[in-house]
Chains A and B, each alone.
Chain A
Amino acid sequence: MSADSDLVERIRRCELSALGEAYELHSVNLHGLAARLCGGDNADALVRDVFLALWREPERYDEARGTLGEHLTRSAHAHARRRGLVTDDDRVTALAARLGAEAWAELSKLPTPLRDAIALASFAGWSYGELAAILARLDDAVRRDLDAGLEHLRVLVAGPRFDPRRPRADAEASAGNVTPRDVLVSASFGRWAENALADDVALDLGGATLDGVGPAAQEELPG
């Protein structure tokens, strides 16, 4: 039995000390998530909802679906929606504000599953595991969608990857088609993605942000 399962089993036996331990372990992270989900004013209430739910219904934790932290993350998401603290519109607004108009416009062109995976990762900085829990999908599927979504974005802003089998003139022409706007959008998105995902997700951006752009152009980028 894992440490998480052992802790939840003690909660199921109504040991308040076990709930306290879970709170000590997870409340800080959960509070950060709650603040990102629904703002600081509602974060305390959301965290309380999550832990009181764990106390009342510990049997809802299923070790096969992930860690206790992932379960609590999923629970916070569900409670936020149930209380009407966060809606899809809120998420879209928050993500659009974070990305900026141009990058958001590019992201909006993605197919829905890819866009959703990226939007969720950006919105709360969730890991692959947490995203998989929230979306009720397999880790690998989420990873695939995130990678595909980022590659799709890269193509939208910078064109196809350099292919050594293609004639050099074509490759140079392709690189030459990248406008300063593309570079800015690409760099903006790249920084966002790296910031949003760097902690928990080993994401291979594949040089996506600045493909086809020379060092001089990169040095001119803000930030």
Chain B
Amino acid sequence: MAEALDVLEVARRDIGMPVDELWFKYFALGGMSTPLEIDAVLNGALVATTDDRDRLAVALNERYAELGGDHPVPYAGDEPPSPE
């Protein structure tokens, strides 16, 4: 059975952002991991720190905002959605 995609990777594919571009935005936000490490995080081969996940989420949400959308990628401190 296929593994569920990381929410970050789902968002990245949704907005069509190349991994290199995501890495660059993450790097500009203070992240220090390499592009290969970020690729591994997106594919579930590495676990990112909370700070790094939040940087990636910021980078993705900024793109969503540029496209006129909301900020759908959750941050580490966000409450999980409560079941209706």
Task: List residues of A whose CB falls within 8 A of some B CB.
Answer: 16-17, 19-21, 23-24, 27, 31, 44, 47-48, 51-52, 55
Contact between chains at A48 and B35 (CB < 8 Å): no
Question: In the complex, which residues of chain A have a beta carbon less than 8 angstroms from the beta carbon of B75?
Answer: none
Contact between chains at A44 and B30 (CB < 8 Å): yes
Q: Which 5 A-B pairs have CB atoms at the shortest separation, nearest pair first?
A: A20-B35, A16-B20, A17-B20, A24-B34, A16-B24
* 0 or 1 for each of B21-41: is its CB under 8 Å from A? (1 = yes): 101100110101011100000
Interface residue from A17, A21, A31, A51 paired with B27 (Cβ < 8 Å): A51
Closest to B37 in A: A24
A-B Cβ contacts below 8 A, count: 34
Give Cα distance in the complex from A52 to B36, angstroms: 18
Number of interface residues of B (CB under 8 A): 12
Given A24-B36, A27-B34: A16 in contact with B23 (beta carbons within 8 A): yes
Majority-rule SS of B interface residues: helix
Contact between chains at B30 and A23 (CB < 8 Å): no
* 0 or 1 for each of B56-72: is its CB under 8 Å from A? (1 = yes): 00000000000000000
Give Cα distance in the complex from A20 to B27, angstroms: 10
Contact between chains at B18 and A20 (CB < 8 Å): no
Question: In the complex, which residues of chain B have a beta carbon less than 8 angstroms from the beta carbon of A24?
Answer: 34-36
Majority-rule SS of A interface residues: helix
Interface residue from B21, B30, B32, B34 paired with A16 (Cβ < 8 Å): B21
Question: In the complex, which residues of chain A have a beta carbon less than 8 angstroms from the beta carbon of B24?
Answer: 16, 19-20, 55
Q: How far is the CB of B64 from chain A (nearest CB, A)?
A: 19
Provide 15 A-B residue pairs closer than 8 Å at the C-beta atoms, listed in order of the A residue.
A16-B20, A16-B21, A16-B23, A16-B24, A19-B20, A19-B24, A20-B23, A21-B35, A24-B35, A27-B34, A44-B30, A47-B32, A48-B28, A48-B30, A55-B24
Closest to B32 in A: A44
Question: In the complex, which residues of chain A have a beta carbon less than 8 angstroms from the beta carbon of B27?
Answer: 23, 48, 51
Give Cα distance in the complex from A51 to B26, angstroms: 13
Give Cα distance in the complex from A208 to B30, angstroms: 46
Given A23-B27, A48-B30, A51-B27: A16 in contact with B18 (beta carbons within 8 A): yes
Contact between chains at B30 and A20 (CB < 8 Å): no
Interface residue from B18, B28, B35 paired with A23 (Cβ < 8 Å): B35
Question: In the complex, which residues of chain B have a beta carbon less than 8 angstroms from the beta carbon of A21?
Answer: 35
